[in-house]
Amino acid sequence: MVLRTFGWSFGITAAGLIAAGLLWGWEGFGIVLILSILEISLSFDNAVVNATVLKRMNPYWQKIFLTVGVLIAVFGMRLIFPLLVVGLTAHLNPATVIDLALNEGKEYAGHTYGDYLELANPAIAAFGGIFLLMIFLDFILEEKDFNWLSWLERPLEKVGKLDAFSSVIALVTIAVAANVFAGDNAETVLLAGLLGLATYLAVNGLSSVFEHRLEEDAEAEEEAEKSGKTLIQVGGRAAFFLFLYLEVLDASFSFDGVVGAFAITQNIFMIMLGLGIGAMYIRSLTVYLVRKGTLDDYVYLEHGAHYAIGVLAVILLVGIKHHVPELVTGLVGVGFIAAAFASSVLRNKREQALEGGS
């Protein structure tokens, strides 16, 4: 099970590290290894949240997530996306951006490629922060089968009955971030935050609509089978929008990793290779959690991951003005997951003891 799920990750790690050593020597080997560990630590909670979505998709789309999704994550988010962001925010033509990216340390108008990416941080952080905040809010405000921190979650579930309350909170957060953290970038932060909110509402809304239709068709199919009729399902479209949702979610998680990577090196190929290896492990871990049914066995893991997402959203927004070390971001995510796992284990033991006593 482990080898089947993580086999590609192990193989890509070995090939990637060997390539790094051959191309850049021991220094390159070490940098790529560090970047891989950085990506895994920053995105561990991403795997848990991905698993809650992926388990609603059929095996075909799970394979798409592991193949096409990985290509999008590695080449799209870790290589092409930073180039686009630098070009759009710095108003540079594609040729200049690519030239700066390929020539480490080269400057244009007094700035390197890494400098330009850092200057784009307010827009990146606002978009990603609001998108992740919406994921956290929609989870914490909805009614759940299990409550982890009941003293907090039950009152919030009552508040969550108000329509569009999460969107109201997000809009207020955008306004606060623009006024408190943005400084001269207030307009950029407002626009990026609104785009992050709009993207979440669009992708999540479409996936919910088609998923609901899929559930209705499944019920209708049961009735049709009884009467000898057949019914065409729309699972493909539902899974497609869930796939888009996962890709945007991955993008939001990767923002801080991509920007933070430039504190280690400005070699875009090292960054793509190191973060790509980490992204592959996160995807393999996601599939492993689904196939093992881990989220069903440890019911608070989903809670811990969403709390970590909420904190990460705040960190991204605060990071518009104040740098938050990547170590802190990684430890927060791992800490919530570990606490949720421990709580789940204790809950399972209590349940077993009660069953044994009866």
Q: What is the DSSP string of 125-139?
A: HHHHHHHHHHHHHHH
The average pLDDT across 40-61 equals 78
Q: Which of 275, 311, 243 lies closest to 41 in space, CA to CA?
A: 275
Banded pLDDT at 220 (limits 50, 70, 90): low
> For residue 299, is pLDDT > 50?
yes
How confident is the model at residue 231, as a pLDDT? 34
How confident is the model at residue 213, as a pLDDT? 58
Residue partners of 198: CB distance under 8 A and separation at least 6: none
Banded pLDDT at 358 (limits 50, 70, 90): low
Q: How far is it, in rounded angstroms, from Cα 55 to Cα 46? A: 14
> For residue 177, is pLDDT > 90?
yes
How confident is the model at residue 234, as a pLDDT? 35
46-50, 226-230, 281-285: the lowest-pLDDT one: 226-230
Banded pLDDT at 191 (limits 50, 70, 90): very high
The average pLDDT across 286-308 equals 84
> For residue 233, is pLDDT > 50?
no
The average pLDDT across 204-211 equals 68
How confident is the model at residue 160, as a pLDDT? 84
The average pLDDT across 112-136 equals 86
Q: How far is it, in rounded angstroms, from Cα 209 to Cα 199? A: 15
Structure-model confidence comparison of residues 223 and 22, the more confident one: 22
CA distances from 112 to 97, 104, 195 (A): 10, 8, 27
How confident is the model at residue 230, as a pLDDT? 42
Exposed (0-12), middle (13-18) or buried (19+): which is 277, by Cβ within 10 Å? buried
Residue type, 60: Y
The average pLDDT across 2-12 equals 80
How confident is the model at residue 222, as a pLDDT? 53
Average pLDDT, the chain: 81
Banded pLDDT at 287 (limits 50, 70, 90): confident
14-23, 215-224, 268-277: the lowest-pLDDT one: 215-224
How confident is the model at residue 232, as a pLDDT? 36
Length of the chain: 358
> For residue 300, is pLDDT > 70?
yes
How confident is the model at residue 130, as a pLDDT? 92
pTM over 0.95: no
Q: How far is it, in rounded angstroms, from Cα 143 to Cα 196? A: 24
90-122 pLDDT, tens digit each = 888 888 988 888 887 788 888 888 888 888 888
Query: Three-class SS of residue 111?
Result: strand
